[in-house]
Amino acid sequence: MFELTKNKEKGTFHFVLKAANGQVILTSETYESKMSALNGIASVQKNCADDTKFERKTSRNGKFFFNLKAKNGKIIGSSQLYVGESGLQNGIVSVQKHAVDAETKEL
């Protein structure tokens, strides 16, 4: 499920993609409007099937994470940090599995 949230102080929006167990598997960038955030969700759903859209990275502390990028190369969302590369790959598979048909819930 995608959860769309508005920051009441700033008026900006962001979303997270959660797995069936409630764990956050992807966090979006900040959007200035609700429509832009909804377009971001649609972009995740469109691009997640293409493994080449996932940029695999290593953080400064040696943990692993990924960014999902749109066709234009802009980051749509980022993962949590993983201890190992297998966790990173499992996170990508989870996004690919859950994002396409996920419903959007506004909080």
pLDDT for residue 81: 95
> Using one digit for the tens of pLDDT, what is the confidence trace for 53-101?
999 999 999 999 999 999 999 999 999 999 999 999 999 999 999 999 9
Q: Residue type for 45, please?
A: Q
| Mean pLDDT over the full length of the chain | 95
Contacts of 61 (CB under 8 A, 6+ apart): 81
pLDDT for residue 80: 94
Structural Rg of the chain based on CA atoms = 13
Q: How far apart are CA 28 and CA 68, in angstroms?
A: 9
At the topology level, CATH places domain 2-106 in PH-domain like (2.30.29)
Can you give the pTM of this predicted structure? Answer: 0.92
Would the pLDDT of 12 be above 90?
yes
Q: Are 17 and 2 in contact (CB under 8 A)?
A: yes
pLDDT for residue 20: 84
Q: How far apart are CA 56 and CA 64, in angstroms?
A: 7
Give domain limits for the chain: 2-106
User: For 89, what's the count of Cα atoms within 13 Å in the CB-facing half-sphere?
Assistant: 3
